[in-house]
Structure 1
Amino acid sequence: MRTFHRVALALVLLLGVGLIVFPLADGLPKKTQGVDNVQDSFRDAMSKEGLKTSREDLVTMQLMLKQLKAETLPQLGSRIGMNPEQTYAFLSARYDKVGAGLNQVDTIMPRFDHLVAVMEEQGPNFRKADEIPDAHLPNTAVTYLFLVPGVLLTVVGAAGLFFSFRGGRTAVPTVALSVALAVGVLMVGGTLATDEIGKTQAAEKMFDAFRPTFSEQGYKQARTDMDILEGMATQMQQQVVPDLAKIAGKSPEEYSAGLSSDFKDVGKGLVELPRILTRFDGMVEDIGKNIGSFKDADSIPTASKPVSQVPYYLLIPGIVLILVPGAALLFGRRSGNEGTASAPVSAAPQTSSV
């Protein structure tokens, strides 16, 4: 039975060393910091309220651009004797950024619509993954879910083996096995109670969905699209509206008020566009700043293995710690009981008769 105890203690020691080596060799501290960086940057945008605002802002832009192209510009052009084609040609020649925007909005806006749609779809997964390992702890705490049990198991496993080979009657090996069993219960119970399996599955879905977005190519495309929209909006407000107001013999404020009255979607868009573009620009820049962090997060546990495997790196050792030390303690106790029961009772000394 002592051999079984030693085998169990050796396994405890090896599991402890493995739990220490895995997160450090795999670069888990850096990777989990990448997760925190991404979550901190997009937590507001991926909240229910943030997603609602993004959708409303996108709709405002879409309606403004639709009315601008279908109604506003053709009517403004007709007032000075131009058909729609001539109006677009005139604007493109005189206002290069407005012309570039009008020519490309039909391809730019679907890309932003797709981005917002992916954000809306992945909002629940983002919020669930944001609670790894717990709603009150950062993702970097995941490293310590391996290190703390690993150090404890290494210490008790080594101590148990040392005193087991040292000989003599000592309770240290039994205590070491009991501690290992308790650690195993905590590892399994904690992983299941906090739903780490479900949370990492949500994170995996989110990584799959956003992988094209958090790439150099994805960022460059979004940055180019934003530059076109911002250039168009700025030139419209600083040059086109003042010039049209001058032609109409009105102040820019009076002319803008007239536009808002005649073309409500355009008027609303012109008022809200600076805020909307600033907000979307911030999201695009956050994407660019977090490309490296996203790659780190997406490589947990490795670049070729999904993050949904990570809970099993705690569950499987935990189950082993419950079964093997538990069996060693159970059979050790039975062996001790049997030994006590089978011990011979010495006969009482007989007095010889004189």
Structure 2
Amino acid sequence: MKRIGVLTSGGDAPGMNAAIRAVVRKGIFEGLEVVGIKRGYAGLINGEFVDMNLGSVADIIQRGGTILRTARSEEFRTVEGRRRAYANMQEQGIEGLIVIGGDGSFRGAQIFSQEHGVKVIGIPGTIDNDIPCSDYSIGFDTSVNTVVDAINKIRDTATSHERTYVIEVMGRHAGYIALEAGLAGGAESILIPEIPFSIDEIIEKLHRGQKRGKLHSIIVVAEGAASGIEIGKQIKEKTGFDTKVTILGHLQRGGTPTAFDRVLASRMGALAVDLIKAGASGKMIARQHNDLVAVDFDCALSEKRTIDHSVYELAGILAI
């Protein structure tokens, strides 16, 4: 193995730059040439290659987003698109590929590897933290802290005006952001896709709080569980409480990565280089019980990660 490529694919996540930096510098340390591929698989098809050196990744560990940019590629889903990508890799002399992204990115990497024999290693990078077989993915910790900071600020206004606030966060199919941010932010109710909820139970909890003198409430809603606007409308109609809705949206994707995400990304990037240099392929770096391990892509793609119900129950108990 002499020359490897690295790309970011799918939604951006804080800490991706730290992972790129680790891949480039560990790769160079190990005597490898490292090629950056811009705009994910689309760049692989369109030949958007850039040779990376130590200076290429200077002063990026603290930056959110990804210096390599990212995109979703419908063309890469086709046999012809992947054939073009492989031809470009051969022309560039790239022998292995490190992919930083989510399950969609890994699915594409697995098919690509099976069709053309390309050695591929995956690094989980998604704020949703919904990649099976890994306790954490790059970007999740930063996103949760961004949401908690927003909850803290909104609570100040909620207290001052004696209001109920509904805060909608990201999470189309997974409620990890809502659950951890809601618990850390002291939310009265947390609505996530994995667990059915009743609007009447939410309202009953609001009334109980009012009876004991509570002047404000925070309700965190994952976008995949319900519309924050609709939940706010129902609460206002059924209770008459002054209810406001805040949708955090893509604010949750950006920003300076936390120390946790920087360290996690750096360790994962370095291990990915070790694995691909050793000839491994079809593996994803995972964090399990505070250790980093390599698991098969099948583990990340064939299973479904489920929330810890005890954490959800604890959030409900502490919000009484």
Query: TM bucket by the smaller chain?
Result: under 0.3
TM-score by length of structure 2 reads 0.21
Q: More strand by proportion, 1 or 2?
A: 2
Whichever of the two has the greater Rg, that structure is 1
Q: More helix by proportion, 1 or 2?
A: 1
TM-score by length of structure 1 reads 0.20
